[in-house]
Structure 1
């Protein structure tokens, strides 16, 4: 075991050599959710498993609780090395033929979670695992729930239509050890899950979406934390796309039938934003109308022309409104069908808020991240170590 950044290792239970499944959980500082998750995974009845937990700068009370959990390989690091470093440290200390990666803010309800993941992985190299957002009672959790229904469906679509993927959601996914050995472990990246998925894609690994089991995923507790999370996602995605633009474009051209529907469902504000910019503000028509209106006050013969210009402007905005409403109803149908396909709730009454408020806000953050990375050349993220 490397002693570079490891303060201590606690290994309880049977020796881990030769175990088939490794469950890896990285964390910064830790929390009650981490403790709850580790206890749950350690208690799962599947015997042939090892649980590897890496915590940077652990809180004392969290470390003490984790030490009391049997059957866990616990790596406590005194300094913050970052998620990628923690994942790679855990991989070096694990031996499972299949590796399941879990974030520290998820929870596993299903007693047969590991068995079902293994069964679904037969014949596949990498898999995205279904995520279900916990409804904490507020509107934010429900909006994020709708969003994750889209993400789940996009993964299912890629699995069905292409059997390959360029992205997985790092909160819960699985990879065969053999596949990891082929492509290497995690590289320094803000979006380490996208990066490893793209390398798996380039290696022509088979991909599947696991939907017969799931993890519960907790949403940000408030919009401030949501904004912080999305800012990091935006910068990470922009940096990833900048580095892998050629591969991403090739993927789009090779399998548009899988990529485009999933992208439009995950980011429906792309369609409404495009409509808004294509049907621009028509400054010339407005200027001409004001001129003809002024002229009409002096020359009566100009009134019909001013009226025609006003009608033209109204028709333009009606067309724009009609196009956006059409996009919304297409989204409504598509999102409802997607939710049914992945067996998740619909929250139909929140679709207008999601489409017209939540999604434009997320798209704006995303585009701002692209400008920050590609134009301003700033890739650092506050309170995040790569």
Structure 2
């Protein structure tokens, strides 16, 4: 049986510390090496890394380099690489991924039924930020994406690692010059009826971002990218949710169950016990502090403080415990619960604030906030 030729594309900015390991993993895979074409499309390469690329090209004859001294951006770097590719199937890997496992033949076989194959991804748990990003990615790739898989329709796509048929890429005209080119690509493919699947025939480990500043910049780009996608593909998104109503409702229920429980408690359950505590505290305070302070510190004001603390603590316990149970049961492993508390009280709210900021910014200026990202 004839096997198709594959083109493996690495868009890189400046350098990639995992590139050599990834090339070895790809070439060690039993899929015939004469059917593997590796294209490294790099912007503004650092001198040491450029020397390393030349060594790799001399060592492995099926490597092609596309070098730009200027920063073209990931979209152009990827599109330029595809233009010179000769494979029927395209594999894409970002510079910050580490190929933990790869079965090329498995992906090729899956592409007989599907048109876009997303690779399973996991964040390397390095530092507190890495642990929080690990939780976020696990929620998506272990909980949400397996459910979306049942629709076979592309809705989201993490472009740091996926495969597609070259015919599909050409039909949707590759990456568009937008902030989340990968999700945009998935939407364009979905409109044409192409099928999506998430596969564990390739497992990627991804380096976490090094600082909170980098994380904010990335999430600012992702949030505005979401606005872009909604504006450009609202018709497809609405059609997706209508055609997959039960799955969509199920996913929303999974995502927002803690909020629903919290809201129910907030609206319907009495908190009279807090008022009794407030009265008791007020009576104790009245025996020990000046009446001037008691004008400000009345039972109602004390109750309001307790009520806010109560709702905040309730939200933290509900959300942290729920996410912890979801991930621990799915992955059959126990994790550090403190990280899940940080995820609930810091990570999620900060992400929501960034999204709201982008929406307000776009509403006022009708353009994206300033970002360190070449589009």
Do the aligned residues in 2 keep the contact of 1:19 with 1:50 (CA within 8 Å)? no
> CA 1:316 to 1:223, structure 2 compared with 1: closer, same or farther past 3 Å?
closer
Do the aligned residues in 2 keep the contact of 1:268 with 1:359 (CA within 8 Å)? no
Choose the corresponding residue for 1:211, options 191, 200, 213. Answer: 200
Q: Is it true that 1:368 corresponds to 2:360 in the alignment? A: no
Cα deviation, residue 188, structure 1? 0.9
Do the aligned residues in 2 keep the contact of 1:57 with 1:78 (CA within 8 Å)? yes
Choose the corresponding residue for 2:232, options 218, 243, 251. Answer: 243
TM-score when normalising by structure 2? 0.78
Helix, strand or coil at the partner of 2:11? strand
Query: What is the match of residue 225 of structure 1?
Result: 214
Q: Is it true that 1:41 corresponds to 2:26 in the alignment? A: yes
Query: What is the match of residue 271 of structure 2?
Result: none
Choose the corresponding residue for 1:159, options 134, 145, 149. Answer: 149
Query: What is the match of residue 70 of structure 2?
Result: 79
Distance 2:68 2:338 in 1: 46
Unaligned regions of 5+ residues in structure 2, if any?
268-274, 276-281, 283-297
Cα deviation, residue 219, structure 1? 0.6
Cα deviation, residue 181, structure 1? 2.8
Query: What is the match of residue 342 of structure 2?
Result: 353
Q: Across the two proteins, how many residue pairs are aligned to each other? A: 339
Choose the corresponding residue for 1:198, options 147, 168, 187. Answer: 187
> CA 1:222 to 1:352, structure 2 compared with 1: closer, same or farther past 3 Å?
same
Counterparts of residues 27-106 of structure 1 (less than 5 Å): 27-46=12-31, 47=33, 48-69=35-56, 70=60, 71-106=62-97
Q: Is it true that 1:334 corresponds to 2:303 in the alignment? A: no
Distance 1:371 1:225 in 2: 21
Distance 2:178 2:237 in 1: 17
Cα deviation, residue 244, structure 1? 2.1
Query: What is the match of residue 180 of structure 1?
Result: 169
Distance 2:221 2:87 in 1: 31
Unaligned regions of 5+ residues in structure 1, if any?
1-17, 280-285, 287-292, 294-305
Helix, strand or coil at the partner of 2:163? strand
Do the aligned residues in 2 keep the contact of 1:232 with 1:381 (CA within 8 Å)? no
> CA 1:327 to 1:349, structure 2 compared with 1: closer, same or farther past 3 Å?
closer
> CA 1:360 to 1:319, structure 2 compared with 1: closer, same or farther past 3 Å?
closer
Cα deviation, residue 312, structure 1? 9.9
Query: What is the match of residue 288 of structure 2?
Result: none
Distance 2:149 2:85 in 1: 28
TM-score when normalising by structure 1? 0.76
Do the aligned residues in 2 keep the contact of 1:272 with 1:324 (CA within 8 Å)? no
Query: What is the match of residue 109 of structure 1?
Result: 100
Query: What is the match of residue 130 of structure 1?
Result: 120
Q: Which range moves more in the overlay, 196-205 or 235-244?
A: 235-244
Off by >6 Å, runs of 4+ in structure 1? 306-317
Cα deviation, residue 84, structure 1? 0.8
Do the aligned residues in 2 keep the contact of 1:127 with 1:209 (CA within 8 Å)? yes
